[in-house]
Structure 1
């Protein structure tokens, strides 16, 4: 099983993570990874007040080099799914002033952040809104999130413990060219006992339905970037097809992005 792209990592800007962007890049380079995606949290976990000023670190991602220490660098975010309709964080936060307080055309905070991201990972962290919904309704929630043009990946669905109909979501992801994440952090530490079985089931159905998967270490410190021992063990245990691993190398990942309508030249 070859994986040389890690497209779910965090930096200090996630507030509960501990490394800089360059430290994450160095960690990827040290392991001969070809591509790194940095995806800090875009979520109400970070701040009590949801303003452009608090999330301005996303609006300057353009200063990052595209290649750093020999690693292709993508600019992303991990955005929370916030309701049963599959809406994404920031969709209802209106912004009409720049960070300098200069007036600007009113837009949503989500639009402003997404403008600077190559892609987004959509994840459920607070599943309260899913508990009174049926599995079919929760499946539609995930599908609607996938329909956002900037969402490339559904994050850690095996760890979120949302009760949903799996096959319709995987079929929709496959048909849209989007990716389902197999997440190293979901298989480690306190997550492992509850997450191994659902993560294995997700991977098995992806293989059977022909849905491509992405890899994310979900690293919150640089020493975890590119670590995929547990994901490797899981995928190899079920003979998962290498052809469905979108993160096998940079060419495969960028090709998958291009086929899904993303700018593969990013």
Structure 2
């Protein structure tokens, strides 16, 4: 049986359309005999709407302070290694990630920074890794396949991006091979997303093709339940069955153990 010991795409109450606390997710990870849990709440407009008016949209760093206090999380909790991340939206065809253009002039306590920062930099600084995902495919409306492909290539260049999230579910028409080549060359990962397989059965053949192509090209994959409630943490029945069906190499599963995932993360992220 293919070994999967890490769930590195999960959500807590902070994502607002998810239902469990970080402790409930850790308990569930322990019950599922996981070695490592990655918590990756949405870093996105989905969480908080901008303030201000059209043409003068502003986001407040206080709404995102959940990410800024990651330091208080234990690295090992109930014998599960706990890593801190976020799932950041790709917000335009240039591959920018949410928060890149949001100025953060002050800290949550009102202290004015000597040097202005942006929200992406501030949140990414506290994150061990980032999943880059498309949740609004309209950003690619009217775009050529080449331009959409370049969007993913640009997103991959961000030093904190480790994983491209649910690319089959994104609804984006792009060239797979150049993106997989870039993933392999950068030592990063492509996700096989359990939620996609469970909720979008019509996409299973395309995910299978993605897995086969990763195997052929030597691209490492990550596994994520994309859990929005603790009951589905570490549930990889469909992912494991799909990978076994295509004879996916165990050595290309970055989430086969905590050690393997942490090595991949440290190798890919400066």
TM-score range, shorter chain: over 0.9
1:77 matched to 2:78: no
Report what 1:131 is aligned to: 141
> Unpaired runs of 5+ in structure 2?
51-58
Q: Which runs of 4+ in 1 moved over 2 A?
A: none
How far off is 1:201 after superposition? 1.3
Alignment check: 8 A CA contact 1:6 1:37 kept:
yes
Q: Does 1:34 align with 2:35?
A: yes
CA contact (8 A) 1:96 1:107 kept: yes
CA distance in 2, matches of 1:253, 1:229: 20
Q: How many residues of Structure 1 are paired with residues of Structure 2 in the alignment?
A: 260
Is the 1:219–1:225 Cα contact (8 Å) retained in structure 2?
yes
d(CA) in 1 for partners of 2:73, 2:266: 21
CA-CA distance at 1:90 after TM superposition: 0.1
Q: Is the 8 A contact 2:161 2:269 kept in 1?
A: no
* 1:88 equivalenced with 2:104 (yes/no): no
User: What is the alpha-carbon root mean square deviation over aligned residues?
Assistant: 0.8
C-alpha contact (below 8 Å) 1:159/1:198 kept by paired residues: no
- Say which is worse superposed, 168-177 or 41-50, in terms of deviation: 41-50
Q: Deviations over 1:29-62 (max 9, x none)?
A: 0111000000000000111122201111110011
Q: What is the Cα deviation at residue 8 of structure 1?
A: 0.3
Say if 2:160 and 2:269, in contact at 8 Å, map to a contact too. Answer: no
Matches within 5 A, 1:101-250: 101-104=110-113, 105-189=115-199, 191-193=200-202, 195-250=203-258
CA distance in 2, matches of 1:90, 1:22: 27
For 1:261 and 1:150, how far apart are their aligned partners in 2?
Answer: 6
Q: Note if contact 1:88-1:145 (Cα within 8 Å) is conserved in structure 2.
A: yes
Shift of 1:200: 1.1
Task: Determine the C-alpha separation between the residues in 2 that align with 1:47 and 1:192.
Answer: 30
Shift of the alpha carbon at 1:259? Answer: 2.0
143-152 or 251-260, which deviates more: 251-260
Deviations 1:87-118 (A, max 9, x none): 00000000101112221131000000001000
User: How do residues 246-257 of structure 1 correspond to structure 2 at under 5 angstroms?
Assistant: 246-257=254-265
- Listed one character per residue, the Cα deviations across residues 182-205 of structure 1 (whole Å, up to 9, x for unaligned) are 00000113x222x21221111111
Pairing 1:36-51 to 2, within 5 Å after superposition:
36-49=37-50, 50-51=59-60
